[in-house]
Structure 1
Amino acid sequence: MDSWNSIFKEQGKVFTKPHRDMKGIVDLLKERNAKRVLDLGCGGGRHLVFFASQGFEVYGLDAATSGIEIARNWLAENNLNCNLTIHRMEEKFPYEDSFFDAVISIQAMHHNKVKEIKFTIREIKRVLKPDGIIFITFPMFELLKKKNPWPLEKIEKGTYLPLEGPEKGLPHHFFTEREIYKAFKGFDIKKIYLDSSKHRAILGFKK
């Protein structure tokens, strides 16, 4: 995640507002009396601050050390607590089985090859409590082509590397909707929809 480490160093927080649908996720969590939330690929901490301010016990995991430092400072500025970990999501998570009530991951998990993403999905299932909630977003391939005019190298089915630009050399994997259902077969997927940023948003529960 060297690309995003550099991006955070150069640009700071990058994202400052939570995902537009996160208020609805908070309402769902409160309805289900959920307490402990993991933000996987938390970056500069926009969702950590949001969930911590709502009274949740929040954990953030990201491989970008500069992003974690930004998140730490942002939380401190708001007198909020959070357990932050510098860790790669394609490695076993440093949490016990059935530890979290919910796992969110916004515009982060696609930065890997499909084998590593499927490992991450298995780890999400492991650390979630039974019937735990997932809210995860993945980009559409059309969005990458529109947003990033740089040449791309296809390295496997559905996975591309930008050859120029700030995310040069960073994998971008694109699932079809059918592939999402297959990859998340250990979950009861309630809905998949296009969010306001034209990413596929997934809401589901651990079986």
Structure 2
Amino acid sequence: MAWFETWFDTPYYHILYKDRDFAEAENFITLLINYLNIPKNSKIIDLACGKGRHSVFLNKMGFEVLGLDLSQQSIEHNKEFENSTLKFKVHDMREEISADLSTEKADAVLNLFTSFGYFEDENDDRKVFQSISNILKDSGYFVLDFLNAKWVENSLIIEENTTKGEIDFKIKKKIEDQHIIKDINFNHKGRDYHFFEKVKLHTIGEINKYAEEFGFEQIQIFGDYHLNDFDLESSPRCINVFKKKSHT
């Protein structure tokens, strides 16, 4: 199994990242939705939704939301939040979003907080763009919130330790073959564990190549969660806003 198929489904993944700044995330989503000016009751797909917090927030903002994620445990957790306009389903983003997942096309697809770049084969990356293009309405928005590869290279912290509850996580990072690799080691209840994360450092040019191939035009790049302008050297994020070209 690929690293993301095992690591994301463990309780330890959620323990390590439990202190993420959700206030910042909700503020970012609010700014983003205001920028996109998507009408209330529009359909939004939260692709790679994780534990569903952002899907729930979007739903509370007045949107019909479908949260999709590969992790069965995350989707089972999210089911308690479902209502008539908020649904969660297990889905591999490389696969087509079929009729049993969504019976109508979406006004926007959001792929947030570095939920791309996991795949070794670039054809898998292309499948993601193909799937999103197929499920979006003409002139619909696709937001790909990715890390800024150049900033990662400039600011890499090679080693850090962090304690969450009773677990001491030892984390090492390195850049190898255009990937950022995070090695995660810890001991819990007398047993040693090792997981890793591996994300391809896609350049803006590579992302744009996929976008153009599948009928998207880039309309904006933001450099952080406050929607400041993108700067290649100093921006921590590369938040790509694409619009699907109309066929009419």
Q: TM-score range by the shorter chain?
A: 0.7 to 0.9
Q: Give, in angstroms, the shift of residue 89 of structure 1.
A: 1.1
Q: Structure 1 stretch 40-49 or stretch 174-183: which is displaced more?
A: 174-183
* Aligned counterparts of 2:78 and 2:157: Cα–Cα separation in 1: 26
Residue identity in the other structure for 1:168: F
Q: Give, in angstroms, the shift of residue 178 of structure 1.
A: 1.7
Question: Which residue does the alignment assign to 1:159?
Answer: 179
Q: Give, in angstroms, the shift of residue 32 of structure 1.
A: 4.8
The gaps in structure 2 that reach 5 residues or longer are: 160-171, 187-193, 226-234
* Aligned counterparts of 1:60 and 1:31: Cα–Cα separation in 2: 18
CA contact (8 A) 2:79 2:87 kept: no
Question: Which residue does the alignment assign to 1:90?
Answer: 94
Question: Which residue does the alignment assign to 1:194?
Answer: 223
The gaps in structure 1 that reach 5 residues or longer are: none
* 3-state SS of paired residue (1:190): strand
CA contact (8 A) 2:65 2:86 kept: yes
Q: Structure 1 stretch 131-140 or stretch 4-13: which is displaced more?
A: 4-13
Give 2:156's match in structure 1, choosing from 133, 136, 146.
Answer: 146
* 3-state SS of paired residue (1:70): helix
* Aligned counterparts of 2:180 and 2:204: Cα–Cα separation in 1: 18
Residue identity in the other structure for 1:203: V
**Count of residues paired in the alignment:** 202
TM-score (norm 2): 0.69
Cα gap change, 1:169 to 1:11, in 2 (>3 Å): closer
Question: Which residue does the alignment assign to 2:134?
Answer: 126
Question: Which residue does the alignment assign to 2:206?
Answer: 179
Larger strand percent: 2
| Match runs of 1:107-122 below 5 Å | 107-113=114-120, 114-122=122-130
Give 1:68's match in structure 2, choosing from 65, 75, 86.
Answer: 75
Structure exhibiting the larger radius of gyration computed from Cα positions: 2
* Aligned counterparts of 2:12 and 2:54: Cα–Cα separation in 1: 16
Q: Deviations over 1:125-175 (max 9, x none)?
A: 010000001111111344377356325474xx6335444459934430111
CA contact (8 A) 1:91 1:120 kept: yes
* Aligned counterparts of 1:4 and 1:66: Cα–Cα separation in 2: 9
Q: Structure 1 stretch 81-90 or stretch 163-172: which is displaced more?
A: 163-172
Question: Which residue does the alignment assign to 2:54?
Answer: 47
* Aligned counterparts of 1:202 and 1:165: Cα–Cα separation in 2: 33
* 3-state SS of paired residue (2:139): strand
* Aligned counterparts of 2:85 and 2:17: Cα–Cα separation in 1: 18
Cα gap change, 1:171 to 1:190, in 2 (>3 Å): same
Cα gap change, 1:181 to 1:112, in 2 (>3 Å): same
* Aligned counterparts of 1:148 and 1:108: Cα–Cα separation in 2: 22
* 1:27 and 2:34 matched: yes
* Aligned counterparts of 2:158 and 2:195: Cα–Cα separation in 1: 11
CA contact (8 A) 1:99 1:128 kept: yes
* 3-state SS of paired residue (2:118): coil
Q: Structure 1 stretch 25-34 or stretch 100-109: which is displaced more?
A: 25-34
CA contact (8 A) 1:8 1:66 kept: no
Residue identity in the other structure for 1:67: S
* Percentage of matched positions with identical amino acids: 21
TM-score (norm 1): 0.80
